[in-house]
Amino acid sequence: MELNPGVKVVNTENSSGEGIAKLIAGELEIARISRPLLEEEISLAEVKGKHLIQTQIGFDGVCVIIHPDKFKTIKSLTLQQLRGIFFDGSITQWSQLDSNLKGNIQIYVRDNHNSGTADLFNSVVVSAHNIPYTSNAKILESTTELVPAISQDINGITYAPISFMSEGVSSLGIGDTPIVASKCIAKNIREKKYPLQRNVFIATNSIPKDSLADFVVFLLNKEGQSLLDKNGIVPLME
């Protein structure tokens, strides 16, 4: 780290489930996870003589993302409409959302196995886990592919963490009704007004000590929180 030259931090991209598995296996010292630890993960770690500890470092929001051309007309969707688009297949045409629009709705998702993002989306939208998407969904290998796919497909829709938002796409407001829809922005996420929000944690195999403890303290102080903010994690406080 720049502030502590004697400490080397290596960052790898994993889903929450993969990160915890590697943590338990001793391949990682710390894992960032976008959901609380599962009871089975805690139990497995105990069997291996480890005691998993989670510490909240911020918040995250999962934005529902469409092409800017469609955003000119559609600014928000309800949870019921999301169920119809992603899960039960009752909404397949953009004209079902607005009569002025044309085209088939093309869903882009990643495999929801071990994905904290998919777990949140499923649990909020359909109140269940690992529910299959509609048959026309295009399954991509990683979250990093989702947003570029939407920027190139005027009929596309996906969901991804707020940190993946970029130019060329637009995020929708989400709510029980269009009137109470909340935007996917930091303030709404922190205040839990946006429905697709979650806590972000780091997990360790025990209470952090030495340089690892210093790193955790850094993530929670003003400078660390500012760094997390620059990297797409909503800080604990404004």
Reading the chain (238 residues) residue by residue, the pLDDT tens digits are: 455 555 555 455 667 888 899 999 999 899 999 889 999 999 999 999 999 999 999 999 999 999 999 999 999 999 999 999 999 999 999 999 999 999 999 999 987 666 778 888 988 999 877 788 999 999 998 888 999 999 999 999 999 999 999 999 999 999 988 778 999 999 999 999 999 999 999 999 988 899 999 999 999 999 999 999 998 899 998 8
21 occurs within a structural domain: yes
Which CATH number goes with the domain that contains 205? 3.40.190.10
Q: What is the pLDDT of residue 128?
A: 79
What residue numbers bound the domain in which 203 lies?
16-59+198-230
pLDDT on residue 118: 84
Residue 67 sits in the same domain as residue 154: yes
CA distance 125 to 196: 9
Do the domain assignments include residue 3?
Answer: no
The count of domains in the chain is 2
Indicate yes or no: pTM above 0.85: no
What's residue 17's pLDDT?
84
On whether both 105 and 208 belong to a single domain, the answer is no
Amino acid at 191: E
Question: Contact at 8 Å (CB) between 61 and 233?
Answer: no
pLDDT of 5 reads 54
Domain-located, residue 235: no
